[in-house]
Structure 1
Amino acid sequence: MFSKYSKDYLFNGLIRKDHFFFSILFSISMITIAAELNIVAEAPFFFTWFTTGIGEFASLIVGAIIIGKIGKRIDLTR
């Protein structure tokens, strides 16, 4: 989906552009979790969507940065 950005980096080489775009996409998709929690537990929809989206975005960004740094030192393609 974002393979054309796999060689591009953001923030002075800190994170690949495709990983950043995937982080945004999956953060937005937390709408499904927010809807489930709203239906099942009567949690407030927009607050739940915001907090799960921010949490998902943060965890994906941190993970992408860590794996990117490890991948530069160790061949992870094997």
Structure 2
Amino acid sequence: MSDITFSREQTSQMVHKLQKYLQAELDVEVGDFDAEFLLDFFAKELGAHFYNQGMADALRVVEEKTEDLVDTLTWLQKPVD
């Protein structure tokens, strides 16, 4: 798996959300640099867990759709004498 990377705009939005959360929930004020550093830590140390869960969810959907397709194709078979 390659490193998780985000655009500058995405990073800025996530940093802002992280700052708001830390202020509201923990009454901790964090600057842009520190919040981005913390965000990088989360991405590197925890990102793979979220990525893997997303992949598992996608795989489950693909399996369900494949099962539906197999059922449909089986139903379309013609009887053979």
Structure 1-normalised TM-score?
Answer: 0.38
| Higher helix fraction (1 or 2) | 2
Greater Rg by CA = 2
Q: RCO (CA 8 Å, sep 6+): is it higher in 1 or 2?
A: 1
